[in-house]
Amino acid sequence: MSNRTWLWFSLGLIGGVQAAVPVSTAVLGELVSPQVFSAPAQVKPLNRPQIAAEVSGQILRLPVRVGEVVPTDTVLVELDCRMHQAQVQSAEAAGRRAQAQLRFARSQWQRAQNLKRKGSISNEILEQRRLAVNTASAEVKTQQVQQDLAQLQVQHCQIRAPFAALVSRRLGSVGGYATPGSSLLELVQLEQREVRAELRPAIAESLQVGDQVRFRYQGQDYPVQLRALLPLVDERTRTREARLVFADTGSVAEVGAAGRLIWRSRQPILAAQYLVRRDGQLGIFVVQEDQARFMALAQAQEGQSVAVDLPPETVLVVEGRQRLQDGDLIQVTP
């Protein structure tokens, strides 16, 4: 403040009239900037299964190699199926025998009904013949189930790709013996990928309303969209997991790529240098006609930028604010 301005300000106070405080101002829209957030992220496949055997048998063929991309239904593993094929034949023979027993029981039942009309047999024998038909019919159904199970075992001798995928590991070898549950191959699904990020709760909510969300890997940005923000905090890391999908299916990062998730807040922020504290609250001074009005910002924290939900044409006091109190007269100077 110049000597002349200070003299004029002092004389105003002595005369009982409040002197206008000289200040400099700026429009809010020129001071705020979008807040940019960033967090580590990695590209994960939607499915990465270890393909296991469902039946026992020697491994006859493992026609795929690590690094190959295989289409859906490709034969990945072929097991020795002779024992399971023999079980199918045995089940079919048992089924034919059950069918023959059912035909015989039905003929006996028909004959018993004819004899009953003539009064030649008792009700007890008639009931026995009917029970024999029911038993034979149930046996036919049981043998049919056994045949279906045996056929299913034969189908499991060939393990096929459940989806188009990359062969990432071979866990079995030709000549080895597979048992139910033993892993033979590991696949990585390539068609569907997601970006996974662990976010601090303080910034997780900003991602839901964020703008220009992208995954940055090796200097390249890939546009992504939030699919889900898990509504729970991990007890170990104290973070929330976010899952995002690539917005452009023609531009996706490799599976396993480790980069950064970057997004911008839709609500602009004001630098901490424009904040002042009055009556225990942090806020800003705005210009209303020829007065300075203190506006408290509930979310403001000491030394940190703060989101400001005010019209961009709002006029802020940028210099001289430390001398102001709410309602002071001001004089705007260049």
Q: H or E stretch including 199?
A: strand 193-199
Q: Do 198 and 280 belong together in one domain?
A: no
Q: Do 109 and 205 belong together in one domain?
A: no
Give the range of the structural domain holding residue 228, as residue numbers without chain letter: 36-46+193-267
For the whole model, what pTM was predicted?
0.63
Q: H or E stretch including 98?
A: helix 82-117
For 223-279, how does the pLDDT look when each residue is reduced to its tens digit (9 = 90+)?
Answer: 999 999 999 999 999 999 999 999 988 889 999 999 999 998 877 888 889 999 999
Tokens (6 digits) for 279: 């009556």
* Beta carbons of 55 and 61 less than 8 angstroms apart: no
For residue 19, the domain's CATH number is: 2.40.420.20
Q: Do 197 and 292 belong together in one domain?
A: no
Q: Do 71 and 115 belong together in one domain?
A: yes
For 271-326, how does the pLDDT look when each residue is reduced to its tens digit (9 = 90+)?
Answer: 889 999 999 999 999 999 889 999 999 888 888 888 888 888 999 999 988 999 99
Best CA proximity match to 94, nearest among 58, 142, 129, 34: 142
Last residue of a domain, one of 227, 250, 267: 267
Phi, psi for 218 (deg, rounded to 5) = 50, 45
Q: Do 58 and 42 belong together in one domain?
A: no
199-230 in b/e form (b: 16+ CB < 10 A) is: beeebbebbeebeebbbebeeeebebebeebe
Last residue of a domain, one of 187, 215, 233: 187
For residue 152, the domain's CATH number is: 2.40.50.100
Tokens (6 digits) for 118: 């003539």
How many domains does the chain fold into?
Answer: 3
Phi, psi for 247 (deg, rounded to 5) = -75, -30
Q: Do 289 and 327 belong together in one domain?
A: yes
Q: Do 183 and 211 belong together in one domain?
A: no
Q: Do 65 and 182 belong together in one domain?
A: yes
